[in-house]
Amino acid sequence: MSTLIDHPFSQNNIDRWHALRLFLHGVEDIRRLLHPEHLAIRLNLLDELDFIIGDVDLGALKTNDEPEIVERARVLGCQLEAANELLYETARAEISLQGNSPVMPRWLMELADAGDAERPRPGLGFDLLDEIVSGVLQLRGPGESGLMPSPEMLFYQPTPVRHILDLIAVCNFCPGDIFVDLGSGLGHVSLLVSILTGGRTMGVEIQPDYAVTAQDCAQSLNLSGVRFVADDARLADISTGTVFYLFSPFTGSILKDVLNRLHRESKSRRIKICSLGPCTRTLQSQAWLIAKRQPDTDRIALFQSQ
């Protein structure tokens, strides 16, 4: 099943009430849908239900002749969400006990391999993969963050999960590798890389409340091989890192300084640098780096030091 819903209902010219009735009529046996193996189907159904009535006042819809239709939709949504939450809690328990979840990679790969001719789909939009990871990691939003210390530092935007899976695939991690996310935000890249590869990871984030949130998540999942530091990427100790990631967290002189530092690190060992977004163009211009795949700002790019 595709991770993207091809919605048959145009909200501009089809009454939502009619759309909701059609949706409920098309839902299969709910007992079958609640089975653990139907996570993708449930996510797609919830996505479609949200598309139809997500921004509508359900109380207003109940004034129609068939208010039971709205109640059925509400109950169905609650049942589907409860079934998913149970799976997410199971995955969290597995990660806490053994550092990984055997079922989580299967969920992600089933959705990642479905539907799209171009894999991973380019761009920075989110999809059902992100819903799964969000459900498992349960990262809490930090409090009000202060202003960035420099206008060259960009505000946090999560990396879509499909690109993290691509990063893992192209990096071909070795047992001794240490992954470092420079500008790690809430930490989901470092967390997911550790969960899916079993490797050691580190996140460097200049906003202290973001780093605390990420470390709290790592501790709640008992991921001893993951750590986060609240520091400037130009100053943090990255001497053990072998694979670095940049989701265009900064520009201008800061990016130049960080790349100069990575260049110095590369003189003591060969390193890999993954990037996503505009900073890929800057990495592409570095004479000391070799592109290991065709650079594309809409997908993960991979460079290796000479």
273 lies in the same domain as 172: yes
Residue 127 is assigned to a structural domain of this protein = no
Contact 39, 3 (CB under 8 A): no
75 lies in the same domain as 146: no
Residue 129 is assigned to a structural domain of this protein = no
Would you state the structure tokens that stand for residue 81, as one six-digit string? 């969400």
Residue 168 is assigned to a structural domain of this protein = yes
Give the range with max mean pLDDT: 17-21, 107-111, 257-261: 257-261
192 lies in the same domain as 250: yes
Percentage of the chain exceeding pLDDT 70: 87
Whether pLDDT at 159 is above 90: yes
151 lies in the same domain as 58: no
Element holding 73 (H helix, E strand): helix 67-98
Residue 59 is assigned to a structural domain of this protein = yes
Higher pLDDT, 15 or 75: 75
Mean pLDDT value of segment 268-276: 98
- In this prediction, residue 152 has a pLDDT band, given cuts at 50, 70 and 90, of confident
Residue 112 is assigned to a structural domain of this protein = no
183 lies in the same domain as 288: yes
Whether pLDDT at 232 is above 60: yes
- In this prediction, residue 155 has a pLDDT band, given cuts at 50, 70 and 90, of confident
Least confident of 17-26, 116-125, 145-154: 145-154
pLDDT of residue 282: 98
Give 35's Cβ-side CA count (13 Å radius).
7
Say how far apart CA 92 and CA 141 lie, in whole Å: 18
Element holding 180 (H helix, E strand): strand 178-182
pLDDT of residue 29: 84
Mean pLDDT value of segment 260-267: 98
Last residue of a domain, one of 52, 83, 103: 103
Question: Integer distance in angstroms from the first to the last C-alpha of the chain?
Answer: 42
89 lies in the same domain as 158: no
- In this prediction, residue 256 has a pLDDT band, given cuts at 50, 70 and 90, of very high
Mean pLDDT value of segment 283-294: 97
For the segment 194-208, what is each residue's pLDDT rounded down to a tens digit?
999 999 999 999 999
For the segment 31-88, what is each residue's pLDDT rounded down to a tens digit?
899 999 899 999 999 999 988 877 655 555 555 556 788 888 889 999 999 999 999 9
74 lies in the same domain as 152: no
Mean pLDDT value of segment 154-167: 93
User: What is the bridge-based pairing of β-strands 301-305 and 272-275?
Assistant: antiparallel
pLDDT of residue 146: 60
Mean pLDDT value of segment 89-104: 94
pLDDT of residue 207: 94
165 lies in the same domain as 292: yes
Residue 126 is assigned to a structural domain of this protein = no
90 lies in the same domain as 186: no
Last residue of a domain, one of 103, 131, 155: 103
93 lies in the same domain as 168: no
Residue 1 is assigned to a structural domain of this protein = no
Please report, as a single letter, which amino acid is at residue 181. D
pLDDT of residue 4: 42
77 lies in the same domain as 150: no
Say how far apart CA 177 and CA 179 lie, in whole Å: 6
166 lies in the same domain as 258: yes
Count the domains in the chain.
Answer: 2
Mean pLDDT value of segment 79-102: 95
For the segment 212-223, what is each residue's pLDDT rounded down to a tens digit?
999 999 999 999
Contact 157, 130 (CB under 8 A): no
User: What is the bridge-based pairing of β-strands 200-205 and 226-230?
Assistant: parallel
Whether pLDDT at 110 is above 90: no
Residue 189 is assigned to a structural domain of this protein = yes
Percentage of the chain exceeding pLDDT 90: 69
Whether pLDDT at 142 is above 80: no
For residue 212, the domain's CATH number is 3.40.50.150
Last residue of a domain, one of 103, 131, 150: 103
pLDDT of residue 91: 96
pLDDT of residue 231: 97
Domain of residue 64, residue span: 16-103
- In this prediction, residue 16 has a pLDDT band, given cuts at 50, 70 and 90, of confident
CB-based contacts of 17: which residues, under 8 Å, 6+ apart?
61, 64, 69
Mean pLDDT value of segment 244-268: 97
